Amino acid sequence: MNTMLAVFGIGGWEVVLILAVVLILFGAKKLPDLAKGLGQGIREFKKATSEMTQEIQNATREDTTHRQVNYQTPPEEKAVADSASSPTPSSQPKA
């Protein structure tokens, strides 16, 4: 959290001032509800972030799995392909 405050240039006194303003605006009775709502929001955000990260990792894992599949031609198709590519006696040059 210190790095977050350093990015915005907020020091210790500024944080105290912000907390005092929040206390004055919302009152002591509303602060626990406000903190609870903030905590739930953060928890929900972390859950969504971890789910999205998990989905990306699963998609990446599936993509690499599909790339590693090695298709082998069934013997019947291989025989047909071999006979089609071998030269026939009529196509051979006459000597």
- pLDDT above 90 (res 6): no
The Cα-based distances of 86 to 77, 78, 82, 92, 95 in angstroms read: 14, 12, 6, 11, 19
Nearest Cα to Cα of residue 78 among 86, 67, 88, 89: 86
Q: Give me 68's structure tokens.
A: 């590693």
pLDDT digits (tens, 9 = 90+) for 47-86: 999 999 999 988 888 767 655 555 666 666 666 566 666 5
pLDDT digits (tens, 9 = 90+) for 19-47: 889 888 888 888 889 889 999 999 999 99
Q: Give me 11's structure tokens.
A: 């020091």
Neighbours of 59 (CB within 10 A): 10
User: Measured on CA atoms in the order 45, 48, 51, 52, is the torsion positive or negative?
Assistant: negative
Q: What's the whole-model pTM score?
A: 0.45
Q: Is the Cβ–Cβ distance between 82 and 73 less than 8 Å? A: no
Which residue ranges make up each domain of the chain? 28-54
State the average pLDDT over residues 3-26. Answer: 80
